[in-house]
Amino acid sequence: MKVLVDMNLSPLWVEYLADHGIDALHRSSVGDPRAEDQAVMDWAREHGYIVFTHDLDFSALLGTTGANGPSVLQVRTQDVLPSAVGDNVVRVLREQSVALHDGAVVTLDEVASRIRVLPIRGRSES
């Protein structure tokens, strides 16, 4: 599993995930750190990375484009540092590895995680 840590999350995540056996890169080390979200998504898809973010825009992009990937893990907590939510992030990455491999948006908050399989389709398209 390869994880691309978005700009809105600390670079500390790279070492934390590596310490747990997860290959990770921070967005600041890959291309233009000011790149638009779509460029980040394209890079992640082309290189086989899951996007790890605190930003809702990535799932919105997947929803509006109907894309099959890349998978996205959104953390929706106030404190997004590894010291606060690291154990839960690693747990969810491991528990949802198949869904994330196949294409999904996984949202993690203080209470639970939720999964939406890609592509995300509108209600009228079911």
Could you tell me which CATH number the domain at 2-121 has? 3.40.50
Q: Is pLDDT above 90 for 42?
A: yes
DSSP state of 31: S
Which of these, 49, 53, 37, lies nearest to 107 by C-alpha position? 53
Q: Is the pTM of this model over 0.85?
A: yes
Segment 99-122 mean pLDDT: 87
**Euclidean distance between CA atoms 55 and 80, whole angstroms:** 11
Who wins on pLDDT, 106 or 59?
106
Helix (H) or strand (E) holding 105: strand 104-108
Q: How many helices (H) and strands (E) are present in the chain, helices listed first?
A: 5, 6
